[in-house]
Each structure stands twice: as C-alpha cells, then as structure tokens.
Amino acid sequence: DAKTTQPPSMDCAEGRAANLPCNHSTISGNEYVYWYRQIHSQGPQYIIHGLKNNETNEMASLIITEDRKSSTLILPHATLRDTAVYYCIVRVYDDMRFGAGTRLTVKP
Amino acid sequence: DTAVSQTPKYLVTQMGNDKSIKCEQNLGHDTMYWYKQDSKKFLKIMFSYNNKELIINETVPNRFSPKSPDKAHLNLHINSLELGDSAVYFCASSQDSGTPGEQFFGPGTRLTVL
C-alpha cells in the first residue's frame, strides 16, 4: 500500500546521469519525499529527501515538481556500484512504507 | 564501529521453535525499528520503539514480540515459528527530531524455517 509509483526497471550507461522518476499524486502537504536504495541483499541505504524544494547532496539530486505530484532522483555520474533497487517513499513521521522500487542496472 | 548491527546473520531453524534476533545501534538514536523483507523483496515495517514505547505496530502476529532492554537495543523474539516467517529481517534506527529522520539499517538476518 505504498503511495508511490515507479518503473520496475531501468538501465543506464556507466558515467552517464541516471534519472529515476517517481509519481506520488496523492501526496499530502506535510509528507516528505525520501529516496533509499538497496544494493543486492544489504540493508537499505538513505540517499536524499525533500519537502518542496529541490535538494542536492554528495550522492544525488532530488527534483520535485511544483505541484509535488512527482519527483526525479538524479545520479549525476552513475557507476557500476550504483546498481541497486531504488525506493521512492512519501512519509510523515516514522511511517515509512516501501513499494516495489526501480531496479537500476548500470552497464559498462 | 558498525552503526547498526544484527546477530545472527543467518538463522536456520525448525517449525515450532522459538528464536530471537538481536539488534544494537551505537548512534545514540531514540527510535529503533524492525522490518521484514519477504521472498518477493517487499520491505514492510513491523515495529518501532521510541524511548521503550511501542509506537507503530503493524498487523503482525502476536508470535512476534519486540523487546528493548535499553535505548541501544531492540531484539525481536519469535515464538512457534512457521514456514511463512522465512524472510530477511532488518533492524533500523533514527533520531527523533520532530520531523522524519534518516533511518539507518542493519545488514539483515536471513531466517529460514524448515
């Protein structure tokens, strides 16, 4: 019962930007957009989050549309180690619900 | 200096047994969680504890019980194990700051019930 929709899989060439889309058309005003990734069978790893404004950190950039109904995670220079399942989550407080995510495969 | 650690990493047991999975975090966080990831790879939250209080309890069978001896530990006890309990269980922690905080996850415990 995740509140987001993501493509099941995407490919990206090594060194190129990976743009992962996420739809969250029912997002509420106080819900944040979070991105996590899970590499193989490891524990999920936090990437970035935002509320209204675009955000950037050392790992990625998060672009949120003005109406907040969708967002895009950008990995500027994808490497083979970025191959993982990427989860887009909308949450308030601690109620974090994972969907199926997008399996990103970075190819040489 | 692992932030969130779990033991054991693998657990193989027979149906009907009782088992525990331990979780420890050295981040000084206020809140700890347990998640279950089934064979279809869906991650679902089971419990969270904040200052020794259960604040989220999803529709989890009462055979599962979280126990927190102190703020740094949240152990998961499972009674009368069933085949359907086979999954990877992840522990996580976060700092309660009034807004959603980053959750740090442990490496997971793969439970196999035979």
Residue A69 has pLDDT above 60, yes or no: yes
Mean pLDDT of B57-70: 88
Q: Inter-chain contact B103–A91, Cβ cutoff 8 Å?
A: no
Which region among A17-26, A57-66, A79-88, B43-52 has the lowest average model confidence (pLDDT)?
B43-52
Which residues in chain B have their CB less than 8 angstroms from residue A97's CB? 44-45
Question: What residue in B sits closest to A30 (Cα-Cα)?
Answer: B99
The residue-averaged pLDDT of A74-98 equals 89
How far, in whole angstroms, is CA A70 from its chain's centroid? 11
Distance from CA of B105 to the nearest CA of A (A): 5
**pLDDT > 60? residue A1:** no
Question: How distant is the Cα of A22 from the closest Cα of chain B, in angstroms?
Answer: 17
- A92 and B103: CB-CB below 8 Å? no
**Residue B57 or residue B64, greater confidence:** B64
Q: What pLDDT, on a 0 to 100 scale, did the predictor assign at position A30?
A: 85
What pLDDT does residue B53 have?
A: 81
Give the rounded percent of residues in chain B with a pLDDT score beyond 70.
Answer: 94
